Copies of this chain bind each other. A is one copy, B any other.
Amino acid sequence: MIERTVFFLSDQTGVTAETLGHSLLTQFSAKKFLHVTLPFINTEDKAREAVRTINSVQKSGAPRPIVFSTLVQGEYRTILKESNGLYLDIFDAFLEPLAVELQEKPNFEPGRAHGMSDIEAYMKRIEATNYALANDDGGVSRNYDVADVILVGVSRSGKTPTCLYLALQYGVYAANYPLTDEEFESGKLPDFLLQQKDKLFGLSIDPDRLRQIRKERRPMGKYSSVQQVRYELREADKIFRRYGIPHVDTTRFSIEEISSRILNSTGVERRVRP
């Protein structure tokens, strides 16, 4: 299959161009794409260099490259539009209608979305990440008073990556607590968790999928046995029902999807926006 080269151009990190472009490209599953990010295009020289890079693809006989651009400054966009690629520009498409609607001229300053222009919002994300690390896996600090949400579930149900994503992406304070033999045998959650009952959110998972994940970590032994996995998930489910804890089955969901469902279901505010 012939690969089509896709460029993500930005005067900053390239995250927005990548996210937008990737969303669109998943609509074309018969094609194979080669991704190239060209970030920090913030001088005329770099803009011309990017044009040369884009044009060099076509000179090699490959099909016309696709270019997703989030450059803000008009002078560099003018240069880049002269490349031979199919140029798709999010500012061309949306800035004008927004400016009309808001009756405000855009400031045309690059790099405000993924930068530190809002230092407080940025620090919230970093603090939330440190919080998630300190309160991971029933961690030492157990500083649950300030948690926005506390994820509970068996080992490898997806708690840690989800907490980290909630922190990094949205500045949400997410702790997590693993359900282990202590909870399975008593059928109860510890008091310090029940004091925060409204913050609890459960993660469940299909037994076969959990076994598969656990086997990659520890191929042998009880941890990934059919019996153990089924036992743990059954007991976890009893606990969710006993205390009326909302929960989501993570089997077929990515951390983005799990996070979005948690925020949607709990009403926890995104402290920061991506």
Cβ-defined contact, A24 with B95, below 8 A: yes
State the copy count for this chain.
2
Which residues of B lie under 8 Å from residue A25 when comparing CB positions? Answer: 98
Cβ-defined contact, A102 with B26, below 8 A: no
Cβ-defined contact, B274 with A122, below 8 A: no
Cβ-defined contact, A116 with B26, below 8 A: no
* Minimal beta-carbon separation of A134 from chain B (angstroms): 11
Interface string of A110-123 (1 = CB under 8 A from B): 01111111000010
- Using a CB-CB cutoff of 8 Å, which residues 63-108 of chain A contact chain B? 64, 66, 70, 72, 86, 88, 90-91, 93-95, 97-99, 101-102, 104, 106-108
Which residues of B lie under 8 Å from residue A37 when comparing CB positions? Answer: 260, 263-264, 270
CA distance A15 to B66 in the complex (A): 22
Cβ-defined contact, B264 with A39, below 8 A: yes
Cβ-defined contact, B108 with A12, below 8 A: no
User: Is A168 an interface position by the 8 A CB rule?
Assistant: yes
Given contacts A116-B252, A164-B164, contact A15 B260 (CB under 8 A): yes
Cβ-defined contact, A13 with B64, below 8 A: no
Residue of A12, A90, A273 with most partner-chain B CB within 10 A: A273
Closest to A100 in B: B86
Cβ-defined contact, A15 with B19, below 8 A: yes
Residue of A72, A97, A257 with most partner-chain B CB within 10 A: A257
Residue of A4, A37, A88, A254 with most partner-chain B CB within 10 A: A254
Of B13, B161, B252, the contact of A256 (CB 8 Å cutoff): B13
Cβ-defined contact, B15 with A115, below 8 A: no
User: Is A214 an interface position by the 8 A CB rule?
Assistant: no
Closest to A136 in B: B133
Cβ-defined contact, A257 with B23, below 8 A: no
* Minimal beta-carbon separation of A243 from chain B (angstroms): 25
Cβ-defined contact, B16 with A23, below 8 A: yes
User: Is A186 an interface position by the 8 A CB rule?
Assistant: no
User: Is A14 an interface position by the 8 A CB rule?
Assistant: yes
* Minimal beta-carbon separation of A64 from chain B (angstroms): 7
User: Is A261 an interface position by the 8 A CB rule?
Assistant: yes
Cβ-defined contact, A18 with B254, below 8 A: no
User: Is A192 an interface position by the 8 A CB rule?
Assistant: no
Cβ-defined contact, B257 with A12, below 8 A: yes
What are 18 A-B residue pairs whose CB atoms fall within 8 Å in the complex?
A: A13-B256, A13-B260, A15-B256, A15-B260, A18-B273, A20-B90, A20-B94, A22-B273, A23-B113, A26-B113, A27-B72, A28-B104, A29-B107, A37-B263, A86-B98, A115-B253, A129-B160, A161-B168
CB-CB nearest 5 A-B residue pairs? A26-B112, A27-B106, A114-B256, A13-B260, A23-B113
